[in-house]
Chain A
Amino acid sequence: MSAGDEGQPTQATAASGETVAYRSLEEFLAAVERRAFRTAMIATRQRDDALDIVQDAMCKLVQNYRQRPNHEWAPLFQTILQSRITDFHRRKKYRGMIFGWWDRRGGDDDESPLDSVADATQANPLNEVNTQRAVDALEIALQRLPLRQQQAFMLRTWEGFDVATTAQVMGCSEGSVKTHLSRALSALRECLGEDWP
């Protein structure tokens, strides 16, 4: 463990807007790894791709930024994570442009996102069913958002970053963050309905 990993806990803004102190890089990564995976999973819809993205982000943070002050880890990690997600979508777009004609020949596997919503009639306890339905519905609604709106929503609401930090992570202006978030909330309200969750 290097010198920058240990020492007095430093206040850092983390999940859900709470202020959390991390004593070590390991503690920080342990605290964010599941949220990072869920974020990448929602963005990519592929478990293996999501794990790869989380792995890349963790490795780069450790290699390049472990000596940085603890309170910088969260925005740095999110910057790397969101950059990797953007790269994934860029590669997917180019791949689609090149191989799109071939994929269209298959044609019959374009499953609707709603098909993966949990069936409320299955024999689980009622609470679990309702919870799972709420999760599934939210994930589908988030996946339908344009990437930038999705990023603004996740960073502002789940990671608890303020507008300035979100703008820094996304590499855009604060005004753009507000616009993306406003549009995301509007689209989510429309998709999920007033009664959700």
Chain B
Amino acid sequence: MSDLDERDQALIDGARQVLDQSAAELDAITAQRLRQIRREALAQPARAHWNWGYAGAATAAMAVMAVVLWPGPQQTDATVASLEDIELLSANEDIEFYEQIEFYQWLDSDGQAT
């Protein structure tokens, strides 16, 4: 504070001395309360800060997983095929009927035509 004149400096020095003295001579109850406040504050856990590196990596991993696991068209075909298999397995017709199903389909279409 070199830009201050002597009067200002004297005022500042006096104020500093008086304020230091007033802080040193705090009443016992207030001083005790301040110690209690300090202890309570120090007993608090530090707030967890976001680690943006980890957050970014986690987001990227989730995006990759979503792309890999997203049900595509092949999944739909597989589902349809499975339904056809279930229909075959649960049908009462003899297995030979299904082995010659193309012949029966031709016979059926030929009969409709005639």
Q: How many chain-A residues does the 8 Å CB contact rule pick out?
A: 41
The secondary structure that dominates the A interface is: helix
B95 interface residue per 8 A CB criterion? no
Shortest Cβ gap from A192 to chain B (Å): 7
Cβ of A179 to closest chain B Cβ, rounded Å: 12
The range of chain B's interface size is 20 to 34
Taking a contact as CB atoms closer than 8 A, the residue among B4, B7, B22 that contacts A135 in the complex is B22
* B20 within 8 Å of A (CB atoms): yes
B1-22 contact mask (Cβ, 8 Å, vs A): 1 or 0: 1011001100110111111111
Q: Is the CB of B16 within 8 A of A38?
A: no
Measured CB to CB, the residues of B under 8 A from A are 1, 3-4, 7-8, 11-12, 14-24, 26, 30-31, 33-35, 37-38, 40-42, 44-47
A51 contacts B46, C-beta separation under 8 Å: no
Q: In whole Å, how far is A47's beta carbon from the nearest beta carbon of chain B?
A: 7
Interface residues of A (CB under 8 A from B): 2, 15-16, 25-26, 29-30, 33-35, 37-38, 47, 51, 54-55, 58-59, 61-64, 66-67, 131, 134-135, 138-139, 153, 156-158, 178, 185, 188-189, 192, 194, 196-197
Which residues of chain A are near B21, meaning CB under 8 Å?
131, 135
